[in-house]
A and B are shown apart, each in its own frame.
Chain A
């Protein structure tokens, strides 16, 4: 059975998160927050535009790494959650279905309206994002700098979870077995964002 993206998005987009009586949101084995996207975009954009060309790559790596760790741990929490078990798991027959399901959830929860367009098991994945909050860093013209650091990190993390071996809560093994490059971006004037994930060197 293939993943019914429409059904997953319809079902899981209805989930609303709100703080408990301690103002915290424990979910998926982590503490969750729900902040305005302006905060994440503002920090990433002011940082990467402010550091200068010599240290831009280092700053970008740190932003991608934050998403990579987030995607690895929260991603594991999601694919073992009750929500996943009740909605997505019945459609899953193999590892590739898990990945397609994960991007349906990624879409439903507002990270990026995205899907896998090419998948070579254990080797390569190409993801397209047709709408994502990180594109909002540009509201006029086209940027020379792709800015979807969160999507890059999460795409690599999902491949780690699929093909990087057993989940390691310490993150010492299993994580960073894949790396992701952004080859297109709506913020750069392209029609969609494109993300190519390959084995890390």
Chain B
């Protein structure tokens, strides 16, 4: 039986000494810490002015969908399995945690996080929380599914059903096409 080699994410880092900006795969990137992302998440959570959770998930969906689509296009990644593998590796490379897409199809799927930057950062900063807080990853997953299946953003909805921040061993997300 032939052994299939797993597709490997390529990270091309460049620093522009003129602007002092960092690019990874042509994408302007910046380093921040768990204090920053959890305070933004708390802001989204407590925001009475508008639906901050939806806003955060949608911004994440737009951002990561564009990032993955660009990568697939430039590296000619067309196979569904390869696209998912790259998306999982990208999630880890940028420090968001360890993601496993358990199943995926044109109408939905399931995703598990064994490690999560947002959840573990929240636990480190404030301890357990009664409800899920990982809106960034909900958006990442919705953007991932749209990129993998060639759909526009907002085509998929990812809902967190189990969370590390609530005390579970892993986080789980249900994905459904709208």
Chain A residues with Cβ below 8 Å from B99 are 23
CB contacts (< 8 Å) of A22 on chain B: these are 92, 97-98, 114-115
> What is the CB-to-nearest-CB distance from A169 to chain B, in angstroms, rounded to a whole number?
11
Q: Are A33 and B63 in contact (CB under 8 A)?
A: no
Point out the residues of chain A lying under 8 angstroms from B64, CB to CB.
36, 39
Given A63-B43, A67-B36, A69-B39, CB of A36 within 8 Å of CB of B31: no
Report Cα–Cα, A40/B95, bound state, in Å: 15
Structural contact, B35 and A46, CB atoms closer than 8 A: no
B1 adjacent to chain A (CB < 8 Å)? no
Task: Determine if B93 and A66 form an interchain contact, defined as CB atoms under 8 angstroms apart.
Answer: no
Residues of chain A within 8 A (CB-CB) of B15 are 13-14, 110
Please report which residues of chain A, range 105-120, place their CB below 8 angstroms from some CB of chain B when the two chains form the complex. Answer: 107-113
Number of chain A residues whose Cβ lies closer than 8 Å to a Cβ of chain B: 54
Interface-lining segment among A51-59, A159-167, A193-201 = A51-59
Flag whether B124 is at the interface (Cβ < 8 A).
yes
Number of A-B contacts (CB under 8 A): 176
Contact partner of A55 (CB less than 8 A), chosen from B21, B49, B93, B136, is: B49
A-B contact pairs, 16 of them (CB 8 A): A33-B117, A34-B31, A36-B28, A36-B64, A38-B28, A39-B63, A40-B32, A40-B40, A42-B59, A59-B49, A66-B39, A74-B35, A74-B36, A110-B21, A113-B19, A131-B19
Q: Which residues of chain A (1-45) have a CB below 8 Å from chain B?
A: 9-10, 13-14, 16-19, 21-25, 28, 30-40, 42-43
Q: Find the B residue at minimum CB distance from A112.
A: B20
Which residues of A does B touch, CB under 8 Å?
9-10, 13-14, 16-19, 21-25, 28, 30-40, 42-43, 46-47, 50-52, 55, 58-59, 62-63, 65-67, 69-70, 73-74, 107-113, 131, 133, 136
A42 CA / B121 CA spacing, docked (Å): 21
Query: Given A33-B117, A47-B55, are A24 and B39 neighbors across the interface (CB < 8 Å)?
Result: no
Rounded to whole angstroms, the CA-CA distance of A36 and B176 in the bound complex is 26
* Residues of A contacting B95 in the complex (Cβ-Cβ under 8 angstroms): 17-19, 23-25, 31-34
Using a CB–CB cutoff of 8 Å, the interface residues on chain B facing chain A are 11, 13, 15, 17, 19-22, 24, 27-37, 39-40, 43-44, 47, 49-50, 52, 55-56, 59-60, 62-64, 66-67, 91-99, 114-115, 117, 120-121, 124, 136
Contacts of A23 in B (CB 8 A): 91-93, 95-99, 115, 117
Query: A32, B30: Cβ atoms under 8 Å?
Result: no
Q: A25-B95, A63-B43 are in contact. Are A109 and B117 (CB under 8 A)?
A: no
Whether the Cβ atoms of A47 and B30 lie closer than 8 Å is no
B97 / chain A contacts, CB cutoff of 8 Å: 19, 22-24
Nearest CB in chain B: distance from A20 CB, A: 8
Give the contacting residue for A35; candidates B30, B34, B124; CB below 8 A.
B30
